[in-house]
Amino acid sequence: MSDPEFRVVTDDQGEGVTYTCGCSCTPTARPRSADEAGMEHCCCGKVHFVGANAANALAAYLGDRKQRRKNEPAYELGVTAVRLAKGPVEVAWAFPQE
Ligand SMILES: [Zn+2]
Ligand SMILES: [Zn+2]
What's the pLDDT tens digit per position in 3-49?
899 999 999 989 999 999 999 999 999 999 999 999 999 999 999 99
Query: 21 alpha carbon to ligand 1 midpoint, in Å?
Result: 7
User: E strand or H helix at 26, and its extent?
Assistant: none
In the chain, the amino acid numbered 24 is S
pLDDT value at 80 more than 80: yes
Compute, in angstroms, the gap from residue 25 CA to the centroid of ligand 1: 4
Q: Whose atoms come closest to the Cα of 18: which ligand?
A: 2
Instruction: Please say if the pLDDT value at position 69 is more than 80.
Output: yes
Do 5 and 20 contact (CB within 8 A), yes or no?
Answer: yes
Q: What is the pLDDT of residue 1?
A: 58
Amino acid found at 42: C
Pairing mode, strands 47-50 and 87-96: antiparallel
The residue with greater pLDDT, 23 or 1, is 23
Encoded amino acid at 81, one letter: A
